[in-house]
Amino acid sequence: MRSWFAVLLAVTSVTACAALRGGGDVTTTNVTGWTGRDIEELIQVAGPYDESRLRGDLRTYTWQRTTCRMNARTSLDNKITTVEMIGTSQGCSPYLTKLGAG
């Protein structure tokens, strides 16, 4: 009886993880048109960020949603060097639309 319960628990866990992932392929998208702009412009468009990290001369701002993570990297003068999104197309589409890239 215990082995049946363990199998049921494992199947339920795998199914739940697949449902949370959204079933789509995870991709990385580099968003163009933001290089050289001030990070405050991006914050106004995307909303408050979830995390900020400083490493050397580079600061990274991260917005995390269920199936999408957006990272914006800036120089110390707060000018954006790159914006990338990692996640499913469905999860990242609201961000891409807000940033004018989707």
pLDDT digits (tens, 9 = 90+) for 62-82: 999 889 999 999 999 999 999
DSSP strand pairing (51-55 vs 68-74)? unpaired
Checking if the pLDDT of 24 tops 80, the result is no
CATH number of the domain residue 68 falls in? 3.30.1450
| Domain count of the fold of the chain | 1
| pLDDT for the residue 35 | 95
Asked whether residue 9 is domain-assigned, the answer is no
pLDDT in tens, 36-67: 999 999 999 999 999 999 999 999 999 998 89
Asked whether residue 65 is domain-assigned, the answer is yes
23-27, 70-74, 94-98, range with greatest mean pLDDT: 70-74
| Backbone φ, ψ for residue 17 (5° rounding) | -65, -40
Asked whether residue 18 is domain-assigned, the answer is no
Model pTM?
A: 0.73
Asked whether residue 53 is domain-assigned, the answer is yes
Domain limits at 90?
25-98
